[in-house]
């Protein structure tokens, strides 16, 4: 016999001994607001015994079998519930002015969890100016009953980064922060936090989610040497910010899963000289997004860099212009020469087998996607996103402009030519008329 059945057995013996043979009522336990609650909330357990013959009951509460809860009231309330209060509860009643007792109720489980916010991005975190994007914040899989705040992560001078509340953050129960047309200012690392309505219960800060917005023609370029997005471990890597004026007012910054937002010079293995960042010996934790930041805090030209121990894919650092050739190669660091004969894939589909160099002539926008290479013995490379830059509207208008300009430039010569031809024709007509008059 289970220990949890002992109170019921004792009650049955007492009822039989006292001569009561009528049906023994069975209580029912309810939990408000819910059986699954969050730490810090107010929770009430209620024991209802339906028996018209008894006017008053003394209530007995038990947790996890035989652990008595010091309460004789019909409702047992936790004003600020914690994980310690989680468990299985049941109740039974004894008559206050008699000897009758009820059965014990079925057990009801109270679950208490720490409210954790989870942030996701739709449709993707890599954007071009003008693209729409939505940040979605949920608390343990639910967005109801919460109000949300949105923050961007900032680099602080101490060991931990801080958070700045977005000035246009819409607090509400929707759990979504939508940007209809992204611009460069929306680039950043975002987090969210939720507050339980009317209870002042806060969730943890969510996971970080970066947004990278690429401009059509950024004022600065991030130059990477060697010029590729995937690199071997234990090699030197140089990243430089270059603009047309050769200004040194740029800083290389990065975002990694292990370190979050960082300056280039925040490690003994990295150094910043002017606008150039040098990583003396690459490690996998150097994988992340790198960009150029101005003195006023503007971010430009984000590049996703991967440091990998095995096979890597050589692909262009900058977006490929539509109509240009796209060249991909596969390398492995532990052979000489390091170039591999491998299979090449796009978005998981094989596009070319057993070649040392894959060339896609006259690349189009539809060929944008994730590319990687695979060798049957050496393994496969990480995936790299190949961006194809389509012809801009401004570019398509240039030929028309040149045509109009050429036409306008040629107008004076056309007018002069027409006038000369007209005069020549007129003089010929006059000459013919004079000859006819003479012959008459």
In angstroms, the Cα distances linking 422 to 75, 340, 411, 429 are 110, 73, 16, 11
**pLDDT score, position 313:** 97
Decide if pLDDT at 436 tops 60.
no
Look at residue 403 in the predicted model and tell me its pLDDT. Answer: 37
- pLDDT number for residue 172: 54
What is the spatial distance between Cα 6 and Cα 1, in angstroms, rounded to a whole number?
Answer: 8
- Residues paired with residue 153 on neighbouring β-strands, in sequence order: 163
Average pLDDT (52-66) is 86
Task: Find, among 277, 255, 244, 166, the residue nearest to 210 by Cα.
Answer: 255
Q: What is the DSSP string of 366-422?
A: GG-EEEEEEETTTEEPPPEEEPEEPPPHHHHHHHHHHHHHHHHHHHHHHHHHHHHHH
To the question of pTM greater than 0.75 for the whole model, the response is: no
For the domain made up of 117-214, give the CATH fold: Immunoglobulin-like (2.60.40)
pLDDT value of residue 342 = 96
Residue 229 tokens, joined: 């997005």
pLDDT at 413: 47
User: Alpha carbon of 289 to those of 28, 107, 262, 300, 329: distances in Å?
Assistant: 57, 52, 11, 12, 22
Whether the ω angle into residue 50 lies within 30 degrees of 0, i.e. cis, is no
| 276-279, strands of its sheet edge to edge | 220-225, 237-243, 276-279, 270-273
Residues 374/390, Cβ–Cβ less than 8 Å: no
Closest CA to 163 of 155, 152, 171, 148: 152
* Domain covering 3-113: architecture: Sandwich (2.60)
Rounded to the nearest integer, the mean pLDDT of the chain is 81
Q: For 24-69, where are the E strands, in sequence order?
A: 28-32, 36-38, 43-48, 57-63, 67-69
Q: Contact at 8 Å (CB) between 93 and 61?
A: no
What are the φ and ψ backbone dihedral angles of 67, each rounded to 5 degrees?
A: -80, 110
132 three-class SS: coil
Residues of the chain above pLDDT 70, percent: 78
Q: What is the pLDDT of residue 126?
A: 85
Tens digit of pLDDT for each residue in 367-405? 989 999 999 999 999 999 898 887 643 444 334 334 334
Q: What is the pLDDT of residues 131-172, one digit of tens each?
A: 899 999 988 766 677 888 899 988 654 445 688 888 766 555
Could you read off the pLDDT of 117-139 as tens digits, one per residue? 999 999 888 888 888 999 999 88
Closest CA to 7 of 90, 111, 125, 73: 90
- The predicted structure's pLDDT at residue 200: 74
CATH hierarchy code of domain 310-391: 2.60.40.10
pLDDT bin (cut points 50, 70, 90) of residue 77 is very high
- Which residue, among 262, 224, 258, has the nearest Cα to 241 in the 3D structure? 224
pLDDT for the residue 155: 66
CA distance 278 to 264: 8
Which residues contact residue 226 at a Cβ distance below 8 angstroms, ignoring those fewer than 6 apart?
237
Q: Residue 227's pLDDT is what?
A: 93
Could you tell me the maximum CA-CA distance found in the chain, to the nearest angstrom?
160
Contact between residue 69 and residue 63 where contact means Cβ atoms under 8 Å apart: yes
In angstroms, the CA 65 to CA 104 distance is 11
Asked if residues 96 and 57 have their Cβ atoms less than 8 Å apart, the reply is yes
Cis peptide before 94 (omega within 30 of 0): no
CA distance 33 to 42: 8
Q: Are 214 and 129 in contact (CB under 8 A)?
A: yes
- Check residue 218 and give its pLDDT: 77
């Amino acid at each position: 016999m289970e220990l949890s059945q002992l109170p019921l057995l004792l009650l049955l013996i007492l009822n039989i001994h006292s001569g009561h043979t009528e049906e023994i009522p069975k209580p029912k336990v309810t939990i408000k607001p819910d059986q699954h609650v969050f730490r810090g909330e107010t929770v009430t357990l209620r024991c209802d015994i339906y028996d018209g013959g008894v006017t008053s009951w003394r209530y007995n509460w038990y947790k996890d079998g035989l652990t008595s809860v010091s309460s004789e009231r019909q409702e047992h309330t936790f004003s600020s519930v914690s994980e310690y209060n989680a468990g299985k509860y049941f109740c039974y009643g004894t008559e206050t002015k008699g000897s009758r007792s009820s059965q014990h109720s079925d057990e009801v489980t109270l679950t208490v969890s720490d409210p954790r916010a989870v942030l996701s991005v739709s449709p993707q975190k890599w954007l071009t100016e003008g693209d729409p994007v939505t940040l979605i914040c949920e608390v343990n899989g639910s967005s109801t009953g919460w109000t949300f705040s949105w923050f961007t992560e900032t680099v602080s001078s101490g060991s931990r980064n801080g958070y700045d509340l977005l000035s246009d953050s819409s607090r509400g129960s929707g759990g979504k922060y939508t940007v209809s047309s992204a611009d460069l200012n929306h680039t950043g690392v975002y987090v969210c936090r939720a507050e339980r309505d009317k209870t002042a219960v806060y969730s943890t800060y969510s996971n970080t989610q970066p947004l990278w917005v690429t401009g059509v023609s950024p004022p600065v370029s991030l130059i990477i040497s060697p010029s590729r997005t995937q690199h071997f471990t234990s090699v030197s890597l140089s990243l430089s910010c270059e603009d047309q004026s050769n200004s040194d007012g740029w800083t290389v910054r990065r975002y990694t899963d292990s370190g979050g937002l960082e300056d280039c010079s925040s490690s003994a293995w990295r150094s910043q000289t002017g606008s150039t960042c040098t990583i003396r010996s690459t490690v996998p934790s150097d994988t992340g997004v790198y960009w150029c930041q101005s003195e006023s805090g503007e971010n430009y030209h984000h590049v996703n860099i991967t440091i990998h121990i095995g096979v890597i894919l050589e692909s262009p650092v900058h977006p490929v212009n539509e109509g240009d050739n796209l060249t991909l190669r596969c390398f492995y660091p532990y052979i000489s020469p390091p170039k591999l004969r491998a299979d090449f894939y796009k978005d998981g589909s094989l596009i070319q087998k057993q070649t040392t160099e894959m060339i896609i002539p006259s690349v189009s926008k539809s060929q944008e996607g994730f590319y990687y290479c695979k060798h049957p013995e050496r393994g496969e490379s990480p995936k790299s996103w190949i961006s194809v830059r389509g012809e801009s509207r401004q570019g398509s208008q240039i030929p028309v402009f040149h045509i109009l300009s050429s036409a306008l430039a040629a107008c004076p010569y056309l007018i002069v030519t027409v006038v000369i031809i007209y005069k020549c024709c007129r003089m010929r007509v006059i000459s013919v008329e004079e000859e006819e008059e003479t012959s008459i």
